[in-house]
C-alpha cells in the first residue's frame, strides 16, 4: 500500500459553526449557563433554555436570537424529564447539543451535611443530569449524531473543603462521561465535560461572600491570578460541541486559569 504525502482533509473555520443545530442548555437563563447559551447562539445554534424561574428565562431570551425558546422546569422533578425532552423535540426540533449545566452548590462542613442536604445535591447535580442525558442520548443514538456536554467542576479534580456533596456529585458525573463514551461513541454521539475553575457568577460570589480570605486563597491557587468570566466556559462549549472537536470524546477539559495543575 502506498502512503500518501498528505491526508485528504480541507481545514476550514466552518468546523466551529453550529449553524442548523439545536442546543438545549439546562439552567441557561443565568450564570454560566446563560453565557454558554449566548456563545452557542453566536456560533449559529438555535437555543432552548430551561430553569425554574420564568422571569429569568424570559429576560434572557432576547439575547439568544429570535428563534430561542424557554421551558420552565425543575430538573429535580425526575418524572417530568421524559415529557420535557419530548415536548422540546416536538415543538422545536431534534436536539443536537445537550449542555447539562444546571447545578447547585452547598457549602457546609461534612459533619453538618444532613441526608436531605446530600440527597438534594445528588438529585440536582447527578440524578437529573443522568435522566436528561438518557432521554436525549437515546434519541441521539438512534439518529447517530449528537454532542453531550457536562459542566462539572475543579472540585471533581481535587479536594476542596466544605463541598463534600457537591464534590461527590461532580466526580460522579466525570465518571459518567467515561461510561457513556464507551456506549455512545459507536453511534457518533460524543460526551465530554468542562470543569470550570473560579468563574465570576452569582453562585461563586455567594459562596465566597463575607469571606475575603477565601477569595484571596482562590486567586493564590490560580496561576493566571484572575477570575474566569462565564464566556470562557461558553467558548470552550462551542468548541467541544462543534465539528472542530469531532474526534474528542470522553474528556474533561479544565477551564480554570491553570488551577488544575495543583498550584
**Residues found near ligand NDP in the complex (CB under 6 A):** 26-27, 29-33, 51-53, 56, 74-76, 101-104, 124, 151, 153, 196, 198-199, 201-204
From residue 22, give the alpha-carbon distance in Å to each of 149, 241, 242: 14, 11, 12
Q: How far is the CB of 158 from ligand NDP (least distance, A)?
A: 13
Q: How far is the CB of 114 from ligand NDP (least distance, A)?
A: 18
Strand order in the sheet with 252-255: 69-72, 46-51, 22-26, 97-100, 146-151, 189-196, 252-255
Please identify, using beta-carbon distances, which residue of 119 and 183 lies nearer to ligand NDP.
119
Please identify, using beta-carbon distances, which residue of 52 and 162 lies nearer to ligand NDP.
52
DSSP, residue by residue, 15-68 = GG--TT-EEEEETTTSHHHHHHHHHHHHTTPEEEEEES-HHHHHHHGGGG-TT-
Catalytic annotation present for 187: no
Q: What angle do CA 23, 180, 195 make, to 5 degrees?
A: 65
Rounded distance between C-alpha atoms, residue 204 and residue 32, angstroms = 10
φ, ψ for residue 32, nearest 5 deg: -60, -40
Q: How far is the CB of 85 from ligand NDP (least distance, A)?
A: 14
Rounded distance between C-alpha atoms, residue 176 and residue 253, angstroms = 15
Looking at 35, 70, 158, 166, which residue is catalytic? 166
Query: What count of residues does the chain have?
Result: 263
Please identify, using beta-carbon distances, which residue of 52 and 215 lies nearer to ligand NDP.
52
Please identify, using beta-carbon distances, which residue of 177 and 204 lies nearer to ligand NDP.
204
Helices 115-122 and 164-184 cross at an angle (nearest 10°) of 30
Q: How far is the CB of 120 from ligand NDP (least distance, A)?
A: 9
Please identify, using beta-carbon distances, which residue of 8 and 116 lies nearer to ligand NDP.
116
CB-closest chain residue to ligand NDP: 31
SS3 198: coil
Q: How far is the CB of 143 from ligand NDP (least distance, A)?
A: 25
Positions marked catalytic: 166
Amino acid at each position: 500500500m502506498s502512503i500518501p504525502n498528505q491526508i485528504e482533509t480541507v481545514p476550514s473555520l466552518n468546523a466551529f459553526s453550529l449553524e442548523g443545530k439545536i442546543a438545549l442548555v439546562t439552567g441557561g437563563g443565568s450564570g454560566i449557563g446563560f453565557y454558554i447559551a449566548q456563545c452557542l447562539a453566536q456560533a449559529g445554534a438555535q437555543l432552548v433554555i430551561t430553569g425554574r424561574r420564568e422571569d429569568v428565562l424570559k429576560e434572557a431570551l432576547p439575547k439568544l436570537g429570535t428563534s430561542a425558546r424557554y421551558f420552565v422546569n425543575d430538573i429535580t422533578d425526575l418524572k417530568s424529564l421524559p415529557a420535557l425532552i419530548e415536548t422540546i423535540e416536538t415543538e422545536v426540533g431534534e436536539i443536537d447539543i445537550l449542555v447539562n449545566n444546571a447545578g447547585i452548590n452547598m457549602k457546609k462542613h461534612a459533619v453538618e451535611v444532613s441526608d436531605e442536604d446530600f440527597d438534594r445535591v445528588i438529585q440536582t447535580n447527578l440524578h437529573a443530569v443522568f435522566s436528561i442525558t438518557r432521554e436525549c442520548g437515546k434519541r441521539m443514538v438512534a439518529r447517530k449524531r449528537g454532542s453531550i456536554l457536562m459542566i462539572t467542576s475543579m472540585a471533581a479534580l481535587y479536594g476542596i473543603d466544605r463541598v463534600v456533596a457537591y464534590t461527590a456529585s461532580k466526580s460522579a458525573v466525570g465518571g459518567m462521561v467515561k461510561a457513556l463514551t464507551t456506549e455512545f461513541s459507536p453511534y457518533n454521539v460524543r460526551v465530554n465535560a468542562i470543569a470550570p475553575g473560579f468563574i465570576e457568577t452569582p453562585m461563586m460570589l455567594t459562596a465566597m461572600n463575607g469571606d475575603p480570605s477565601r477569595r484571596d486563597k482562590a486567586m493564590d491557587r490560580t496561576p493566571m491570578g484572575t477570575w474566569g468570566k462565564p464566556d470562557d466556559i461558553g467558548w470552550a462549549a462551542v468548541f467541544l460541541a462543534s465539528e472542530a472537536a469531532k474526534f474528542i470524546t470522553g474528556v474533561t477539559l479544565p477551564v480554570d486559569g491553570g488551577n488544575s495543575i495543583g498550584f
